[in-house]
Amino acid sequence: MKKIALIGECMIELNGEPFGNMYQTYGGDSLNTATYLARISQSEQLDVHYVSVLGEDKLSQRMREHWQQDGIKTEWVLTDTERQPGLYLIQLDSDGERTFLYWRNQSAARYLLQHADYPKVFEQLKSMDMVYFSGISFAILPENDRTLFIEQLRELKQSGVKIAFDSNFRVKLWDNLAQARQYYEALLPLIDIALVTFDDEALLWGDNDEQETINRLQSFAIPLIVVKQGKQGAVFCQQGQQTFVPTTPVEHVVDTTSAGDSFNAGFLQGYLLGKDLIRCCQQGNQLAGIIIQHKGAIIAPEATATLRCQFNDTQS
């Protein structure tokens, strides 16, 4: 039995046009990954834990219930009696590309490390095979908590826990590029698996191509680097060897929200179960290809149900 804990924030999602057709659901990069990872995994093979904070409101209660229905273990989702989840609005263009508006400055998850019960959760994280977080999980933290989180990652790594990281850079969560780069440079030497999207890396670091991204990440001695390239596929680098894994084109893209998050879920499921890295990337590509044909970060379980059997077939 492998165990992974994913740390981050889930928000209330509004999807559609203001003053027009709109529906409410929920999403957040690390929660999206946790959801799809739990859905495609057999419970006897993989424990998927989520680490976050929700409020006492009814929306928080319903989100927790949905996560449990998807197979996510929520005993480390803490409760804040004073704050509620953040909110975001997705607007889509004709190609399925999205823009976001956020209301999250006082979200409960932002104060995870300050919660009275968090030290107990952190001690439990030392028993995990892997801990996963993203640049968003990190950026929403108050500045003092970011420093503490880096120290805790170092402690987890020393305990033998593998650290997986999706850089998921968002400009609006940082004061400036210099601040973000400084923090990322402190994080990256602690990372065992970097799951990055080239567009994010280009925005943060000014990379001109994927090779420049790989070279820079290698300078931090990261054992496994995966660069997601959208509709083209992904390239991974391990021990200096690079392999490109193409994806199957999707004819009708509805919504690219959660594409990278779902890729991470497919990849990590394969990795934790000991599959070869090409197969891990293929799983990530396949899962993401389904997600982008539906609207919203979290799509109906029926859309990915067949992958549970495919990805857990010992002959695959």
Q: Can you give the pLDDT of all 316 residues of the chain as single tens digits?
A: 999 999 999 999 887 776 777 788 899 999 999 999 999 999 889 999 999 999 999 999 999 999 999 999 999 999 999 999 999 887 766 665 667 788 888 899 999 999 999 999 999 999 999 999 999 999 999 999 999 999 999 999 999 999 999 999 999 999 999 999 999 999 999 999 999 999 999 999 999 999 999 999 999 999 999 999 989 999 999 999 999 999 998 888 888 889 999 999 999 999 999 999 999 999 999 999 999 999 888 999 999 999 998 998 754 4
Strands (E), the chain: 2-7, 11-16, 22-27, 46-54, 77-79, 87-92, 98-103, 130-134, 162-166, 193-197, 224-228, 233-238, 241-246
Is there a contact between 86 and 100 (Cβ–Cβ < 8 Å)? no
* Residue 251, pLDDT score: 85
Q: What are 6-40's pLDDT values in tens digits? A: 999 999 988 777 677 778 889 999 999 999 999 99
Strands 98-103 and 22-27: unpaired
**Which candidate, 22, 13, 25, 94, places its Cα nearest to that of 300?**
25
Sign of CA dihedral 64, 258, 124, 174: negative
* Residue 148, pLDDT score: 98
Active centre residues (catalytic): 261
The CATH fold of domain 2-9+29-84+114-310: UDP-N-acetylmuramoyl-L-alanine:D-glutamate ligase (3.40.1190)
- pTM for this predicted structure: 0.94
* Residue 46, pLDDT score: 96
**Which candidate, 213, 216, 192, places its Cα nearest to that of 271?**
192
